[in-house]
Amino acid sequence: MALLNAPPLPLTAGSEPAVCGLTRRTKDLPPFPAVPGQLAAVVGYSYLRWRKARCVARWCRPTRREALLLFPFADPAHAETLSDLSRGITGGDKDVYYPTWFKGIWEATTELVAVEVPENSKVEDSVKRQQQLLGTKQAVERYPQKYIEYEGKIIADRAFNMRSYVRGSGGGPRAFESVEWDPRTPNLSTVTIKRDGVSIKTETRIKKRTVGVPEGRDDLFNSSEVFLQEVSGGGEDKVTPIRCVNKFKKNGDSEILVIQRLEIFPRFGGADPEAFNLDKPSVIYKYRGVLQLQPESPLEPGIKAL
Note down pLDDT in tens along the chain; length 306 residues.
455 555 454 433 334 454 454 333 333 333 333 333 322 232 333 333 333 333 333 333 322 222 222 222 233 333 444 434 434 443 357 899 999 999 999 999 999 999 999 877 778 888 889 989 999 998 999 999 999 999 999 999 999 999 888 887 655 556 788 999 999 999 999 999 888 888 989 999 999 999 999 888 999 999 999 989 998 887 777 888 999 999 999 999 999 999 999 999 887 654 454 555 667 888 999 999 999 999 865 445 444 333
Q: Which domain holds residue 137?
A: 2-294
Burial 69-95 (b: 16+ CB within 10 A, else e): eebeebeeeebbebebbeebbeeeeeb
- Identify whether 306 is part of a domain: no
Cα–Cα distance, 263 to 19 (Å, whole number): 11
Side chain identity, residue 187: N
- Residue 190: which H helix or E strand, with range? strand 188-195
- Report how many domains make up the chain: 1
Q: What is the DSSP string of 128-177?
A: HHHHHHTTSGGGEEEEEEEEEEETTEEEE-HHHHHHHHHHHH--SSEEEE
pLDDT at 62: 27
- Identify whether 299 is part of a domain: no
- Identify whether 86 is part of a domain: yes
pLDDT at 238: 83
pLDDT at 250: 97
- Identify whether 201 is part of a domain: yes
- Identify whether 214 is part of a domain: yes
- Identify whether 302 is part of a domain: no
Phi first, then psi: what are they for 5, rounded to 5°? -125, 15
Q: Compute CA 73 distance to the chain's CA centroid, rounded to the nearest angstrom.
A: 16
Let me know: does 242 contact 265? Beta carbons within 8 Å. yes
Let me know: does 56 contact 214? Beta carbons within 8 Å. no
- Identify whether 304 is part of a domain: no
pLDDT at 9: 45
Cα–Cα distance, 249 to 59 (Å, whole number): 9
pTM over 0.75: no
pLDDT at 59: 34
pLDDT at 170: 55
- Identify whether 301 is part of a domain: no
